[in-house]
Every structure is written in structure tokens, then in C-alpha cells.
Amino acid sequence: MQDLDPSRAESVRRLFDLMRRVNSSTETGEVLEEIARGVVEVLGFGVAAIARLEGDYLVMTACVGPDDVRAQIIGRRNPKQRIMDEFRQADKWGILRYVPHGRVDDEFLTNAWIPDYEPDDDPQAWHPEDALYAPLYSATGELLGNMAVDFPPGNRIPNQALRDLLELFVVQAGLALSNAQQRERLAEQVRLGEIVKDVAMASSLVGLDSTLERSAEALAHGFGAVQTWIRCFPDGELGRSEHAAGFPAPNPANGGLPGLRRDLVRSAWPQGGAIHLTVDAEKSRALPETREALQAVMRKHHALSLVAAPLGVGVELLGYVVIMRDTDQVLNEHELSAVREIARELGRIVLNARLYERESRLVAELQELDRYKGELIATISHELKTPLTSIIGHTELLDESEHSSISVQAIARNAQRLNQLIANLLNYSRVQDKREHVRSRVDLTELCQNSLELLQFQAEAAGVRWSISRPDGAVLVNGDPDELGRIVDNIIGNAVKYSRSGGEIDVRVAHVGEHAEVAEVAVSDTGLGISQIDQGHLFSAFHRSSNPEALSIPGTGLGLAISRRIAEIHGGDISVESELGEGSTFRLRLPRADSLDSASAPAS
């Protein structure tokens, strides 16, 4: 060998020893250190250093040489790309790469470690800016690391014999890394399998919220995350609020990650992928606004990287899983595929929970409908039976001549009551399934005036005074004048009906809302008032106040149910404010019709 002529026997013995260790040891760091030591002690290099590939960086893990050199080199991170660029400019010495001084740009040198001594003039002398590397590959040709040597024996460019020996050490280093990688992959598969298992176990918990919470925790532990979030978008059909869970912080403080849903739909979801981002990355699959928003969230949680995976089944994007870690190492492909599997599993859980929720709701609705149907039949029978019993009783009395005129009056009154009930029933059933209505321009002030005129005698007879306040112009809505008139008649009629003598009724017609976009009729009375409990049911068919005084006044309990339905068909609503014994205000609100609106537009 070169000047030093190292003993071949010693090299072979050390190599043999290393080969044994490489194949049996689990301590990769130790083996790499020994390989580097062999290169220094047996082959006579001044420095030997081995870097492992971690993500996109080569990280210096083992170094043998002078202490000050070690201190400078250990832990150094070099972008993989830079080393690959340097390899391309190197002379190929078998598996070694020799980069003579002057070959690479100054930019490379500023980042490299350069020994500090004066170069020799001899062309065979080793120059301080010369570099000798050995890329370390796995059996499948995957780059795993890099060995760098410096200060060759005698400070001369290594000859063929020395290179051959160095190659033997390099092969052992490659094998050591390859074994380590296999062991780590196995351990990782076991670890990822555990996370998937934990999430699957969580799915057996009752209730979606607890499942999501446990899954968020399992993900955080499994991936060593500083924060995980799982979010399910609201179910449109159910109108349910969204489900969210997180660990350790329970829920995103900002109520979701801005733009993430749109970005997942746009990029990651169709390809079954995920959004992967580090805190400093300038590019990612996410749109720039989303990326910046996510990076801000990462900073808030002291995270350096984030992965967001879509949660879904089939074509439906149901939510997302976010994992934030305090390392800028993005997840490797195995970890990513575990995240995707977990997201799919969660998607199935969410979908099942939703299906179950929808079914339960449907069952509850059907039960309610059934109960209501029973109640309706009972009420209608009762309402029909009372006047009929009276009619039958009085027909029998007609035989006894002195009661005949009282009986005829009673028959007429009850027949009238039956007639009214049946008219209301017909109206009620008619408006239930109604979707469309005649549309013409209707002035609410005019409807109120008509109604007050109609009820004038009734009000006078009851000793009730009324007043109306209205704007100068018309208060226009689009709709069916007959149907809308029915609502106004009902609420003004009720105000008269449920007032005591001396009571007052105030009818106000106005434009309300922030932009005066709503047309309103408010009818206030100083009458009997309605209790809080009764107010809750007032708009259901057949509901009448439980107050005995109100019950003694004839009525069917259908008017307000009909009114609310008509208001809804017209895109509006009717509401009540009342205090028992004080009086009530009923408010009809409808979308205001612009004077330019087409009154004959088809019904929606």
C-alpha cells in the first residue's frame, strides 16, 4: 500500500470482525462508529465520517478522527440534493466518488468542512479541498447514507490498493445501514399496526364523539404528535353541527382550519392523498392562502410539520384528520399510508354513525307522526261529537212544543259550529301539502283595513277598541291575497275574540329588518294572554290554551296552524309574544316585494 503499507492481514481481520458485527448487531450507531474507526486505524485515513439519510437530509452520525474535527462534523445536516449534485461532478473510482479541488463551485465549499492547511505542489499530494466520498446504497439501490474520508495516509491521493480496501469497508457500512433500515421498517410496521388497531378499537366505543376523541389520542401517541385534530363536516341532511375532537387540545380554537376543506376536495381527496406541509415550506399541494393559514396554526402549536388526510368513504368527503409534529421531517410513505388507512377507517365509522343517526331520526319522526295521527283522530271525533250530541238532543226536544224555538236555535248554533269546524279542517288539510301559491302584489295595509272593517261590529259588541298605524305608502308582498287575508283575519279576529270588554287592539303595519326588507303586521291586544307552556304549542293543529277562560270561548284550534303554514308557503313566519293575563302580540313577517318585482313570477 501507499507509504504506510498497512498490514493487509490486519485489514482482513478487522473486516471479518465487522462483517460478523454488521450481521448480528442491532446497534447501528456502534457498528457505523467501528467501520469509521477501521478506516482510520487500519487504512490510515485521518478522518472517516458516516452520514445517514433522514428525509431529504444527510445527517452526520458517526465520525472518527481528531476531537475538534468530530465536534465540528457530528450532527451536521446536508441537503441530499447538494451531495447528489457533487457526486455528479466527481470522478468515479468504482463505488467511490473523488472530487478533486477546483472541480466544484465555491458555493459547495462554503458549506463543506475543509481542513485548514497549506496545499502541497506535488500533483499526487492530497489537497485540503479534495473530497472522497462513498455513497451507501441498499441492496435495492436506495441511497441510505454517505461516507466521507479525509487526510489519506501520507497525505497523498489514495492509490488503487487503498481504494480497494476502502471499498470493502464501504460495503460493510452500506450493509449495516441496510440492516438498520429493515429493522426500523419492521419496528415501524409494528408501531403503525398498533395505531390502526387502537383506532379500530376506539370505534367500538358507543357514540361518535368518544370514538373520535379516543382516535385523536391514539393518533397523537402513535405519531408523537404535538396536536391532532379530527373533524367531521356537518351532515347537511341532518343539520347536525359538526363533530370534532383533538388531542391534547380538545377542539380547534378557530372552529376549523380555514380553506382546508376546499383544498382537500380540490387536490388530495380525488387522488386519495394527503396535504403534507412543513412550517417553512414555500410550496405544497395546498393553495397559498391555505398553506399560510396552516403554517400560522402550526406556529401557534409549536409544530414544524403537518399532515392533513381526507376522511371519507366512496365519493363523499366527510372530514379530515390533522397530525402536527414538532419535527420538520415529513411522514414517510409507510406512515402516510397508515394515516390514510386510519382516515378511511374513521370515514367508515362516521358514515355508520350518520346512517344510524338518520335512521333513529326517521323512526322518531314516524313515531311522532303516529302519535299525532292518533291524537288528531281523537280530537276530531270529540269536536264532531259534542255539537252532534247537542243537535240530536234538541231534535228529540222538538217534540215538546214549548222548547221548540230554543232547540231550533241550539241546532242552528251547533250546525254552524260543525260547519266552521269542517271548513277549518278542509283548509288545514289543503294547506298542509301545498307548495305553490298564486302570486300577485298584495298590500298588507289593505288586508288589515278590510279585516278591521269586517270585525268592526264584533269588536263593538265585545266592547273592544282598535287602532291602526301604518306607513304612508303600501306595504307590499308577493302572494295569494285570499290566503294572506285568512292569516290577517285570524290574528285580528283572535285579538277581538280573546279580549275582555274595555280591551284595546293595536294593529301596526310596517317595513322592518336591517334594510327594511321585511313586511310586518303586528297585532297587539290587552286580552287574556297566553302562558309560556301554551305558547310552545300554539301553532299545532287543535291546540287551544289551557286557560279555562279562553277555552270557554268557541274555537277549533286550527286557525293559527293554518296561518303558520300559509306564512311558510309565502317564505315568511308568524310568531307570538304574550304574558298570561296581560295580553299578546302576534307578528306576521313576509319578504317585502320590491315595487319593481314581477308580481306574476312563477311560484317557487
**CB closer to ligand ADP out of 181 and 420:** 420
Parallel/antiparallel/unpaired status of strands 275-278 and 305-313: antiparallel
Alpha helices by DSSP H, 319-476:
333-397, 404-432, 444-462
Q: How many angstroms separate the most distant Cα atoms in the chain?
A: 150
**CA 274 to chain CA mean position, Å:** 15
Q: Are 278 and 329 in contact (CB under 8 A)?
A: no
Selected range binding ligand ADP among 18-26, 115-123, 321-329, 490-498, rule: CB under 6 A? 490-498
Residue 494 Cβ vs ligand ADP, minimum distance, rounded to whole Å: 3
Bond into 153 cis (ω within 30): no
Q: Say which residues have a Cβ less than 8 Å from residue 109's Cβ, sequence separation at least 6.
A: 129
Among 349, 538, 566, 590, binds ligand ADP (CB under 6 A): 538
65 binds ligand ADP (CB under 6 A): no
Instruction: Identify the H or E element spanning 510.
Output: strand 504-512
Residue 588 Cβ vs ligand ADP, minimum distance, rounded to whole Å: 13
Whole-Å CA distances, 396 to 197, 302, 400, 413? 82, 91, 8, 16
528 binds ligand ADP (CB under 6 A): yes
**CB closer to ligand ADP out of 213 and 489:** 489
Distance CA 257, CA 242 (A): 13
- List residues bridging with 440 in a β-sheet: 479
Whole-Å CA distances, 215 to 30, 90, 193? 37, 50, 14
**CB closer to ligand ADP out of 151 and 498:** 498
**CB closer to ligand ADP out of 225 and 509:** 509
**CB closer to ligand ADP out of 295 and 490:** 490
Among 318, 335, 584, 588, binds ligand ADP (CB under 6 A): 584
Question: Which residue's CB comes closest to ligand ADP?
Answer: 555
**CB closer to ligand ADP out of 215 and 494:** 494
556 binds ligand ADP (CB under 6 A): yes
494 binds ligand ADP (CB under 6 A): yes
Q: How many residues does the chain have?
A: 604
Among 158, 259, 555, 572, binds ligand ADP (CB under 6 A): 555
The 10 Å Cβ neighbour count of residue 245 is 21
Residue 551 Cβ vs ligand ADP, minimum distance, rounded to whole Å: 7
Selected range binding ligand ADP among 4-12, 344-352, 559-567, 588-596, rule: CB under 6 A? 559-567
Q: Which three cell numbers stand for residue 34?
A: 467501528
Selected range binding ligand ADP among 226-234, 309-317, 433-441, 523-531, rule: CB under 6 A? 523-531
Among 73, 245, 560, 566, binds ligand ADP (CB under 6 A): 560
Distance CA 206, CA 186 (A): 33
Distance CA 531, CA 319 (A): 44
DSSP 265: I
What DSSP string runs through 197-213? HHHHHHTTSSSHHHHHH
387 binds ligand ADP (CB under 6 A): no
**CB closer to ligand ADP out of 345 and 525:** 525
**CB closer to ligand ADP out of 193 and 554:** 554
**CB closer to ligand ADP out of 135 and 555:** 555
* Residues found near ligand ADP in the complex (CB under 6 A): 490, 494-495, 498, 525, 527-528, 530, 538, 544-545, 550, 555-561, 584
